[in-house]
Chain A
Amino acid sequence: MDTTVGTNSQTYSKSKVKKKRNKKNTIIYIILTLFAIVNAYPIVWMVINSFKSEQEFAVNQFGFPSEFVLENYVSAWNTANFGVLFKNSIFICLAATLITVFIGALASYFLARFSFKMNKIVYTLFLFGMLIPIHATLVPMFILIRNLGLLNSSVTLLFPYIAFNLPITIFILTSFMKAFPKDIEESAIMDGCGIFRIFWSIILPMSRPALATVVILNFINNWNEFSFALVLINDPNLQTLPLGLASFAGQFTTDYGAQMAGLTMTLVPILAFYLLLEKEIVKGMTAGAVKG
């Protein structure tokens, strides 16, 4: 008799616990959904409205467009010179990323795999760069670039972009390369490999995961950079996307449709890139954070 009661109350309390947990989970889902809406809706709102005509935007902001209008895109593309902006951004991004990663990897190889007198000092000097507030260098950077006669050229932005992405690149690559076992090089040297040969055909291929991380990180940083471009580039034909967008919005303040179309065009490549390579991107963008 007693036992039956016991089991009964047990099953009763079990189902009560389950009910309680379900209720809790529902609340958690509601909070998470709210968070997701707050996070995503501003962007979704902007993208959807970029397809509405001016009249429709004025009366119906929250629904889907009654018909998809591409007029905004045409006008953004033509007035803001988006073709040129895209070309500039892609060139600067790719060139800066490739150079940074290559010379950064080369430096990391020596910092990680060789012991020499200045090793620690050089490494610390590079890491110090992560603490420099970029805006504190805008004025002297402008003067330096002007004195070098490099203002307003198609390669101007490469210099600051490379210099300021080297610290994080070297930090990530050095700590990755340090973890390789010592005997890799020893056997390679036995086989008569030179130092640079080891770098090119052993260390670089082995560093592939870390290289992927830094390539992505560099690319996103360069794609989004604004301050240096603002200070160093005046020529509309040399502007990058963020700079072009900002000046376009400044000129056509009331043409919301075209602004949203321009924003969407800038947004889509990076968003696609993010959804495709989420894991790597998250790893790269948080790598600097976990250095402590």
Chain B
Amino acid sequence: MHLAKNKQMAITFGLFPALLIYMIFAIYPILQSFYYSFMEWDGFSDMTYVGLSNFKELFQDPLFWNSAKNNIYVVLASVLGQVPIALFIALLLNRKLKGSKIFRTIGFMPVVLSTVVISLTWSLIYNSQDGMINELLRAVGLGALAQNWLGDTQWSMIAVCVTVVWQFVGLYLIIFLAALQNVPEEVLEAARMDGANEWTTTWKITIPMIWETILVAIILCIAGSLRTFDLIYVMTHGGPSHSTDVMALYMFNETFSNLQYGYGSAVSVVIFFFSLLLIFIVTKLLGRKMI
């Protein structure tokens, strides 16, 4: 009895610090944003309850839909860019050629770098005057193709997506490599004995065997690209003329530039549900196809 009581106290005491900070600074803000989303509030004076009008306004704002559309572009670029490239390179690296470790090290490198460093570096690369891409084009005599990559509404989203893909290919590369190393050699050997060529073993055996991991990678990819904020904030700030605006940036500007805290919270809530929903749908869709 005495011991049990002691144990109970120790457990409470041990969990308390982590739980306290986590509840106050992670869970509570989420709950608060639900509450604020029903209010009209400039952040300083009194709040007024406005029901669902923030959401109504939000869904009628073409700028919000524009940012949602751009967000979908980022998701598509990530899923269709990062995952296939990473898988392809991982399959090549899995052949255990000499020096594959170096390629792995270089491949993962961008993942550890700060998004701000990456954004600023790529901004310099895309620079309309002295940027690396334009200089390269001029050097090979294609100077006519030089663009103001980030300043032209036609190119800005593409330029941003290229950087997004570049930043995270390495992460999925490593995830796929780990999965590939767990594919038992005997199975592949048996297939080869039966006369299956490399193409067939890859498509019919290796990929189905790591399908679970590919699924996880796609979900991570979606969740990650819905969170895109830092990169675009630093590279273009959503411009030119909202061509690279994404939901998180829209929320940021509405809240902190236009001082609409209630409205901004409503956007937060929408982002929150939108990402949960998308992850749920993809899990269902791909999960079913697998079986």
Interface residues on A, range: 35 or more
B14 at the binding interface (Cβ < 8 Å): yes
Q: Which residues of B contact A104 (CB under 8 A)?
A: 18
Q: Verify A107–B18 contact, CB threshold 8 A.
A: yes
Q: Verify B89–A159 contact, CB threshold 8 A.
A: no
Residues A106 and B17 in contact in the complex (CB < 8 Å), given A57-B130, A246-B120: yes
What 1/0 mask marks residues of chain B from 1 to 41 whose CB sits below 8 Å from any chain A CB? Answer: 00000111011001101110110111111101100100000
Residues of A263-277 at the interface with B, using a CB-CB cut-off of 8 Å, are: 263, 266-267, 270-271, 273-275
Residues A116 and B8 in contact in the complex (CB < 8 Å), given A135-B248, A271-B109, A289-B220: yes
Q: Which residues of A contact B80 (CB under 8 A)?
A: none
Q: Verify A106–B18 contact, CB threshold 8 A.
A: yes
In the assembled complex, the Cα of A167 lies from the Cα of B21 at a distance in Å of 12
Q: Verify B251–A163 contact, CB threshold 8 A.
A: no
Q: Verify B11–A129 contact, CB threshold 8 A.
A: no
Q: Verify A137–B132 contact, CB threshold 8 A.
A: no
Besides the contacts A42-B122, A141-B25, what 19 more A-B pairs have beta carbons closer than 8 Å?
A29-B97, A32-B93, A32-B100, A39-B106, A61-B130, A61-B135, A62-B135, A103-B18, A107-B19, A110-B15, A133-B248, A159-B21, A164-B26, A199-B14, A227-B230, A256-B127, A256-B130, A275-B105, A278-B108
Can you list 16 pairs linking A and B with CB atoms under 8 Å apart?
A28-B95, A46-B121, A61-B130, A103-B18, A126-B22, A134-B227, A138-B251, A139-B261, A141-B29, A143-B43, A245-B116, A263-B120, A270-B112, A286-B171, A286-B174, A292-B215
- Spell out B's residues near A (CB within 8 Å): 6-8, 10-11, 14-15, 17-19, 21-22, 24-30, 32-33, 36, 43, 89, 92-93, 95, 97, 100, 102-103, 105-117, 119-125, 127, 130, 132, 135, 139, 166, 169-171, 174-175, 178, 212-213, 215-217, 219-220, 223, 226-227, 229-230, 233-234, 248, 251-252, 255-256, 261, 264-265, 268-269, 271-272, 275-276, 279
- Spell out A's residues near B (CB within 8 Å): 25, 28-29, 31-32, 35-36, 38-40, 42-43, 45-46, 57-58, 61-62, 103-104, 106-107, 109-111, 114, 116, 122, 125-126, 129, 131-144, 159-160, 162-164, 166-167, 170, 195-196, 199, 220, 223-224, 226-227, 230-231, 241-243, 245-246, 249, 256, 259-260, 263, 266-267, 270-271, 273-275, 278, 281-282, 285-286, 289-290, 292
